[in-house]
Structure 1
Amino acid sequence: MKSLYSRLVIACAILLSVLLTGLGIVLGQFFPLFSENSNLILQRQYWFFLILTLVIAFVLSLLIATRMMIQYARPIDEMTKITSRIAHGDYLARIQTSESEYDNDLAKGINKIASNLQEMSTMQIMEKERLKTLIESMGSGLLMFGRGGTVNLLNEVFKTTFGLSENEVVGKTFKDIGLPIAIENLIEDVFMTEQVRAEQVRIDISDHPSYMSVHGAPVIGRHGNWLGIVVVIHDITELIRLEEVRKDFVANVSHELRTPITSIKGFTETLLDGAMHEPAIMKEFLGIIQKESDRLHLLIDDLLELSGMEREGFSLMYSPVNVKDMIGDAMDVVSRSMERKKMNIVAEIPEGLIIDADADRLMQVMVNLLSNAINYSKEETTVTVAVTHDMNEAVITIRDQGIGIEQSELPRLFERFYRVDRARSRDSGGTGLGLAIVKHLVEIHGGCVEVDSTIGVGTTFCVHLPILHNK
């Protein structure tokens, strides 16, 4: 497409040609006057004058046309090019107003429009990046449907949760994606009613039950027009699990507290009803009351102990601990229980092994593990305590010859109040909190505890502790 500048040049050339032709015609009217009567010199002078006049007129016309084109046509042509670039998205294009012919209100207005468009484009890009970052950094899955009912936006969490790719989702309706039925029904309700809906649903992903909090809401534009819906899916499986743990904990605490309290209350009422006048029965009942009171006291102490360890600000008192001396002290604490069951302890502990630890807390760990080994072992069996170490870690192994534990029970062994054999555990005087305390104390030291067991053979606990404390 020809520019305005080119069109003006052509127009000026045509105009000059017409003017010169007309001028030649006018001057040619005088030519007959000199054709017969004038001499040759006069004719030559006439032709020279005619040609010179035409040349001067052409040059003057050309200068005037050029000046007009430079002053008016070229700036307009340049502005047309700049506005065309701006219209095609090049918001950095500017008219150079430093030259006098471009220093006018039109050029300044075009530059101002380009500057505003550039600023708006930059803000739009920034907002788009912020929105993208916000959507991708969400801990919940997000799915957005347009007015036509097809998906036009989703984030990485949604793709990871449901194992879908962007190509499998974008441009499809919620019926075509393959979402769980409960989520499909919620999305359909939001489309039909244009009202906010929220629901907790249970779905099976990779053969594992998961719980999702699904929130659907219509997207309303600034002027009240309906743009689509947005669905946010948050995985609450861990929250549901923690809620179940809390409920189990409350139920277990209530049960464990009720049992000794019921016994104490029952035997006290029996004594008050007249049994206290029979010394033998009174002595027996008072012994039971004392035993249940001790159990109740021990349970409350363990609960307070565990609660204190989980409280923020709980810390250990680190000091150099001789592992052999610490285990020896723990063995002394449980020695009476071992004597009653005629059991032996075999210790395989290297001399001079020193670790950074809280001596009292580590002693508590060993007493709990040794007590478990004794309580759940048969009489006249052996408990083996072995210690190995390398440059970074010490491993304390406690192996008994007890009744053993089913493999299916091992993952829950360190839960509070979890008992493999409730009747046997209660008879042993345990509270069901000992292993939970052991696990917590070992982990606070920066270590871990492992368990392995075989029914009828025995159980082995391995406590891994760092040699040095990382301050």
Structure 2
Amino acid sequence: MTHILQTPDTDVPLAEGGRRVVVSIFVLIVVFILGITQLVRFDYNRTVREAEDQLAFSAELYEQTVEASFAIANMQMWNMIDRLAITPFEKNDVIENRYGSRMRDTLRDIEQVDSLVLINPEGNVAWSSIEALMGQHLGDRAYFQAALKLGRNQYAVGVPLIARGSGRRLTPIAWPVVSPNGRARGVIVSSLGEDYFSDLLNLTDIPTDMHVRIQAADGEVAFQSNDMTRDAEDVIISASRNLPTLGLVIEVSRSRTAVMTGLYQRTAIFLLIATILFATTIGMALRLNAKSIQLAKGLHRSKQDNVRIVAAQREFNTIFENVGDGIIIFTQDGKFRRTNKMAREIMGQVDNAATVTLLQTLLPEFSEMNTDFAAVRIKTTDDQVVQCRVMKLTLYDQEVAYCVLTDVTAEERLLTARDHFITSINHELRTPLTSLAGSLELLEDRFSADFSGPAERLVKMAARNADRLLVLVNDILTLQAIDQGQFHLRAKPVSVSAALEEAVSINSGYGLAAKVGVVSEHSEPGQVFVDPDRLQQIFSNLISNAVKYSPKGGAVKIGARETDQEITFYVRDAGPGIPISGRARLFDRFTAPVHNKGVQAGGTGLGLAITKQLVERQGGSIWFETQSTDGEAAETGTTFFVKFKLHTPPETMLETAK
């Protein structure tokens, strides 16, 4: 039976949904514009009210300042007038002598006034702080006539005027000089200048963009803070305050443009931020709508994906169950256990729980497992050996042990056979080779004179090959001992200079046969803690290689240098150098020849590999520097370096050797 999956036509619902989205966005834009308009209008009205309140407060503050200041000046002035009113005015020179200094002191003490004039009842100036006014007739002045009619503690304020000489705005103030019996003896006249009002304005800290004007009832200006020019169309916001003591009016004003500057800035910033947020919201809504459409389309595909997932799960289970290696996965708490068919066969169990339980008894504790693969060999039966590679993984925040089991019984048998074979070499081949080499050497030493030319060459060839086979067998046995952990070191303090001398003595004969000298050129007085026999084996391997590649008549130089509590031995030759292509594999076992035919010297291919093992197992390091013909070097040659620490306590070196 075949099922045909039919999907509904989603184009109509999607188109309808798109129209709804467009209508919704349009409504949101309208609401947004209306909301912004209302907010701006509210902020505008609030700004105008705040400006009016600020102007009214500034006018009141300035009015109180002027009133207080003038009250002090009026009190000081009447204090002087009371003293003047005791005696009648006489001639001008008599007035100067009697009252001149007192009136000057009063003028100096009263900061609010800038001049002082004494007028007699006839209207003539009897005394003045301004010499130009002396003798002039001021009886026609309105403030003079008004002051003559006043009593004690009263004063008259004149209409503001502009001084002829200085062009300054002045507000005249006249005080009557009244005798104790109430008779008017004259008038004291002074004035409040623009500087007076300006100084008081500075004390009130009124903002500089405010315009302050003080004027009389008839419109004459006594003071204005600045000559601020305004456009004819610019609307002015103002507040006024009366000065009852002076009969003046204070008007404080600001242009609407200055008041609205902050509003415009706030509105611009607010509109920018609101527009960005609104656009971001609309964009997110559109993206969410697009994602919802994609989700609707994706839901249709999810069913097919689920079918494919189930199929993939089945395929994985089939592969996991039938893979060639055994696989066991488990958690420490035992809640998750899974094994495949091969793992159950290797462990000899029929279910997951039994297989995991048995394996856990053969492995280290769960907490001791590493995150990298660690190979562990276990025996499931007497005849079966299994290699278990264990790695700890983290899956869903939980640690899981992942084990791969491989039956290595056949491999173990091959290793056992190899060991038996090498043991056989030791007993069945090494002993005859030693006897053969000794016999050939004895034959060559005693009877070489009786041999013909061809016979002598054959004997020497047989001796060389017997020695070569004996070296090869000894090298193989050495590597086997290293691999099986049967390699033992007998370390003790060794003199650096003595070791070098012994190396030269041991290897000089080998170099003499090849017509190459062995020379010790530099030594150090210190000691190293090593196995002396193995140290000489290291020297022999390096020196013999150097001799093989040195030109006839040349010399191999050895020596030692101390740096940073370490001794570095070196063996240097002037041979062809090591080609670039062979440097990376120089210390490998049975490495292929690194030189071309005609340059490559004979050997087992194990000498440098053994040397590296001997150095590292005694806590040292080995490396080389070389210049070869393929590297376009002007001078060729190779230097091997072996580094050991200076003498340390034996316990430390023995532990390192282990």
Q: TM-score range by the shorter chain?
A: 0.3 to 0.5
Which protein is bigger by CA-based radius of gyration? Answer: 2
Report 1 or 2 for greater relative contact order, CA contacts < 8 Å, sequence distance ≥ 6.
Answer: 1
TM-score, structure 1 as length reference: 0.42
Provide TM-score, normalisation by structure 2. 0.31
Higher helix share: 1
